[in-house]
Amino acid sequence: MATTSTTGSTLLQPLSNAVQLPIDQVNFVVCQLSALLAAIWFRTYLHSSKTSSFIRHVVATLLGLYLAFFCFGWYALHFLVQSGISYCIMIIIGVESMHKYCFVFALGYLTVCQITRVYIFDYGQYSADFSGPMMIITQKITSLAYEIHDGMFRKDEELTPSQRGLAVRRMPSLLEYVSYTCNFMGILAGPLCSYKDYITFIEGRPSHMTQSSENGKEEIQHERTDPSPNAAVAEKLLVCGLSLLFHLTISNLLPVEYNIDEHFQATASWPTKATYLYISLLAARPKYYFAWTLADAINNAAGFGFRGYDRNGVARWDLISNLQIQKIEMSTSFKMFLDNWNIQTALWLKRVCYERASFSPTIQTFFLSAIWHGVYPGYYLTFLTGVLMTLAARAMRSNFRHHFINPPQLKLCYDVITWVATQITISYTVVPFVLLSVKPSFTFYSSWYYCLHICSIVVLLLLPVKKTQRGKTTHENVQLSLSKKFDERKNSLEQNNFSTTNNVCNQNQDTGSRHSSITQ
C-alpha cells in the first residue's frame, strides 16, 4: 500500500493504494488532469468573445484556489498570504521603491516556508510540499513588481526594449493580481508568464504575434486570430504519456543513489561509472518533462500560449513553454542545455537580476537562483560546481570551436565529442541536487576525485581571456551580445540566452515526486 502523509485531501486514497503511488502525487496528477478539462471548458464556454474579463478572472481564480486547497489543505493559505501582503506593499510603498520591498518580502517568505518544510517536516520528502507552487508565485510577484516600477516610475529611455515591452502602465486591481498569481492554469506547476501576456489572454485583446520569415528573423503581425490549440495540446499530451510511462517503468530501475554505492565504486571501471552516471540522470528527467509539458498543455487548452506562426505558417504554441526536449538531449554545449531547460525561470532571473545588477551580474544571478531553489545543501553544491563548469565551458568554446567549423566531417566529430562531454558534465554537476545532502554529495565527488572541478579550474587558469572594449572579458561580452539580441526581439516570446546553472536542475517541487534524500 502506498502510504505517505499529506496535508491535502485524502479523497483519492483508494486510487493511491491501487496504483501504489503516494497520495500527494496522485492528488497532483489528478488535479492537473482536472485543470486540463477545466481549461477546455474555460476556452469553450467562457471564451473572451462570450464572457466578460471579470467573470474570467473570478472563475480562473476560484478554480485555482480550489485545486491548491485540494492538494495542500490549509497550507495553501500561504499562497494568499504571500500574494496579499505583497499587493499591500505595492499599494502602500509606491512605485518608486515597491519592487525592492516586494522582492525582499516574497523571496524571504518563500525561504522561511522552505526552511519550515525541510527542517520541521520530513527531510527530502514530497509530503506537504507547498513551497513548490510558492516558487512560481514568487516569480510572478517579483516580475510584476519590477514591471510596474518600469512602467509607472522609470522613463522609457532608461528601459531596454524588453523592459519597455513588458512594462505595466497602471496598477492592477486586486482581482487581476490574484488571478495572475493563483489562476488554475498555473498554480500547481506554472509556468511563469508575463503579466501583460496573461491580461491580454483574459481580456481577449488582439496581440502582436510573430512569424518567422525566410531569413529566420521574426516579423511582427498585428491582430491575428488565435488558431485552435487542439493539435498542440494533443502532441504535448502524447509527450506527457511517454514521459510518465518512462518514469514509472524505467526511472526506478536506475537510481542516482547507485552512483555512490560502495560496491559499485570499488568494482566499476571508469567507462562504466561515466555511462551509468549519464543514464541515471537521463532517467531522472522524464518526471520534469511530464510535469512541465502537462502544465504547458493546460495553458494551451485554455487558449493561452499562442506565439505566432513559423515560416511555413504553422501555429506555434510555445509562448510559455518551459523546455525543448530534443535540444536538451542533443545539447553539444553547456549553454545549449541551459537555454532549453526551465526557460521561464531563466527569463525571470534575467529580468529581475541579471540585466539590473550593477556589478557581477553572473554571480548575483547564481546566488538568487540558489536562494530561490531552497535550503538543501546539495542545491548549493550544484550551483557552486555549476559556476566553474559554466565559465570553463565558455572559455573552451570561445577558444576552440572556430577551429572545427569546416569541413563538415570535422564539425561532426567535434559535435560528437562535445555532446559526450556536455552530457557527462551536466550529470556530474547535478548529482548533489538529487542527493540533497552534503555527505553523499561529497562521497560522489570524491569517488570521481573531483576531476571535473580540477579540469575546470585548470582551463580557467590556462586559457587566455581576451580583453575587449571597456575592459570586459570575453565571457561578459558573450552574455552582453546575447542580451542585445534578445532585446531586439519581441518581449517574452524568445528563449533566454542567459540561463544560469539553476536551470540544469530546477526542481519545481510541486511538479513531481522527489528523489528520496540520503540523510547526512
Tens place of pLDDT per residue across the chain (520 aa): 444 567 789 999 999 999 988 898 999 999 999 999 999 999 999 999 999 999 999 999 999 999 999 999 999 999 999 999 999 999 999 999 999 999 999 999 999 999 988 887 665 555 547 889 999 999 999 999 999 999 999 999 999 999 999 999 999 999 999 999 999 999 999 999 999 999 999 999 865 554 444 444 444 444 556 799 999 999 999 999 999 999 989 988 999 999 999 999 999 999 999 999 999 999 999 999 999 999 999 999 999 999 989 888 889 999 999 999 999 999 999 889 988 999 999 999 999 999 998 888 878 888 899 899 999 999 999 989 988 998 899 899 999 998 998 899 999 999 999 999 999 999 999 999 999 999 999 999 999 999 999 999 999 999 876 543 334 444 444 344 434 444 444 444 444 444 434 443 444 443 343 333 333 3
Which strands sit side by side in the sheet containing 308-309, from one edge to the other? 218-221, 209-212, 308-309, 315-316
The confidence score (pLDDT) of residue 129 equals 78
71 with 24: CB under 8 angstroms? yes
Nearest to 340 by CA among 162, 499, 510, 139: 499
Spot the catalytic one: 78, 373, 453, 515.
Answer: 373
Phi and psi dihedrals of 22, rounded to 5? -55, 145
251 Cβ contact list (under 8 Å, min separation 6): 283, 284, 286, 287
Cell numbers linked to 169: 502602465
pTM of the model: 0.85
Q: Tell me the C-alpha distance between 209 and 218, whole Å.
A: 9
Beta-sheet pairing, 315-316 with 218-221: unpaired
- The C-alpha cell 488565435 sits at 226
Q: For residue 281, what are the contacts with CB-CB under 8 A and spacing of at least 6?
A: 256, 426, 427, 430, 431, 434
Examine the residue annotation and report whether 322 is marked as an active-site residue of this protein: no
230 part of the active site:
no
Q: 3-class DSSP state for residue 132?
A: helix
CA–CA distances in Å: residue 346 to residues 8, 54, 63, 84, 331: 30, 31, 28, 25, 17
352 touches 443 (CB < 8 A): no
Nearest residue to 40 (alpha-carbon basis) of 228, 190, 227, 168: 228
Residue among 517, 274, 475 nearest 388 (CA): 475
Cell 526551465, located at residue: 342
Quote the pLDDT of residue 159: 94
Residue pair 196/476 in contact by the 8 Å Cβ criterion: no
Residues 498 and 349 sit within 8 Å (Cβ to Cβ): yes
pLDDT score at 192? 96
Per DSSP, the three-state class of 209 is strand
* Whole-number Cα distances in Å, 172 to 178, 180, 195, 196: 10, 10, 9, 11
Catalytic residue from among 27, 322, 342, 496: 342
